[in-house]
Amino acid sequence: MLEELGCELAYGDVTDRASVLNGVRGCGWVVNLANVYSYWEPDKSAYRTVNVEGTRNVMEGGVSKVVHVSTMLVWGKPAQQPFSEETPVGLKRFTDYAQSKYEGDLVVWELYRERGLPVVALYPGPILGMGDPKAPGQYVTDLIERRVPGRVFEDSAFTWVHVNDVAEAIVRALEKEGNEGEKYLIGKHGLTMGKFTRIVGEISGIPPPKRIPPPKRRLPGPVVMATAALLTKLADLTGRPPFSGMSRDSMRNIKESVVFDGSKAEKELGIIYTPIQEAIEEEVASHNR
C-alpha cells in the first residue's frame, strides 16, 4: 500500500542502530511509532529492548525534526485529574509496557536537554478505529462474540481518541514551526468502561433492532485481579497469551482511571476531535464485515 502511494521503503529494525541510521539517511523528518504495545509478552525484555533502546536509536538518527509518539500512560495516575501536559507524573506506572514507555521518554527528553534533539512528543489516550488489533479493538470483538465473562471495573474512565485524530496530530506536529520541545496529549472524550460497553451493545445489532446486551455478571475487582494473576502465570509457563487478553497488566491498566485534558492539541495544532461514538461504530463495522 505504501509503495502505491509513492513511498520509498527501507527495511530495518529499531533495535539495530545501523539499519535505523541507514533508513533515515536523507530524511528531514522522522516519526517514531515503533514500539511493543501489549500487556503481556513471553519475553519481558522486549519492552525495554524496543521501547527504550529502540527509541534511543531512532532519536539519534540526526534529522531536522522528530515526532515521538508515546502514550498518556507514562503519567501513571497523577494526583490531579484531568491532568495536562504540565502535570507532574504519578509515582508509578502500572504495567511493564507503561514503565518501558516512561523510560523511553526519559531518554528522549535527556537528548533534548543535552544535545538539542529537535523533538515533539505526542501522548494519545486509548486509540479506537477500524480494524484495531490491539487491546481496545480486541475488547470490542470479544464483546460482540460474547467471550467477555463479566463486566469489570465499570467506573474506570479514560480519555479516548479516534485513530484518524492521532494521525492528523502527527502531521500537524511535523508541519508546525517552532514547536520543538512541546508535549501534546491527544484525546478529548472521557468515557467509563461501563458506558463504553453499553455503547458497543447498542450499535452492534445484526441487523437492528437486535442488540447485544452487556455481560450480565459484574465481577468484583479482587476476583478479577486474582483471576488475571492466575492466567498470567499460566501464560508465562505455556508461552501462550492469557485467555481473552486477561493478563495482570491489562487488568491493572483498566482498574486505574486515567483522564486528561487534550485541549492543547486543539488550540495549538488545530485538531478537531472526532466524536468517539463514530470510532466505536467503525470498530463494530470492521468486525461485522
Q: How far apart are alpha carbons 204 and 142 in whole angstroms?
A: 12
C-beta separation of 147 from 255 below 8 A: no
Written as tens digits, the pLDDT of the chain (289 aa) is: 778 888 888 889 999 999 999 999 889 999 999 899 999 999 999 999 999 999 999 999 889 999 999 999 999 999 899 999 999 999 999 999 999 999 999 999 999 999 999 999 999 999 998 877 888 888 888 888 878 777 889 999 999 999 999 999 999 999 999 999 999 999 999 999 999 988 888 887 644 445 555 676 788 889 999 999 999 999 999 999 998 889 999 999 999 989 999 999 999 999 999 998 898 888 888 776 6
- Residue 130's pLDDT is 84
Paired residues of 121 in beta bridges: 68, 183
Whether the Cβ atoms of residue 286 and residue 130 lie closer than 8 Å to each other: yes
pTM over 0.85: yes
pLDDT of residue 106: 97
**Given this model, what pLDDT does residue 8 score?**
87
Contact 93, 99 (CB under 8 A): yes
Query: Which residues does 267 contact at the CB level (< 8 Å), separation at least 6?
Result: none
| DSSP character at residue 52 | I
Q: Which residues contact 18 (CB under 8 A, 6 or more apart)?
A: none
Length of the chain: 289
pLDDT at position 181 is: 98
User: What's residue 282's pLDDT?
Assistant: 86
Place of cell 535505523: 20
CB contact set of 24 (below 8 Å; sequence gap of 6+): 30, 58, 61, 62, 63
Are 288 and 206 in contact by the 8 Å Cβ rule? The answer is: yes
Closest CA to 236 of 244, 224, 225, 248: 248
pLDDT at 289: 61
Residue 180, burial from CB neighbour count under 10 angstroms (0-12, 13-18, 19+): middle
pLDDT at 211: 52
How confident is the model at residue 276, as a pLDDT? Answer: 87
pLDDT the model gives residue 214? 62
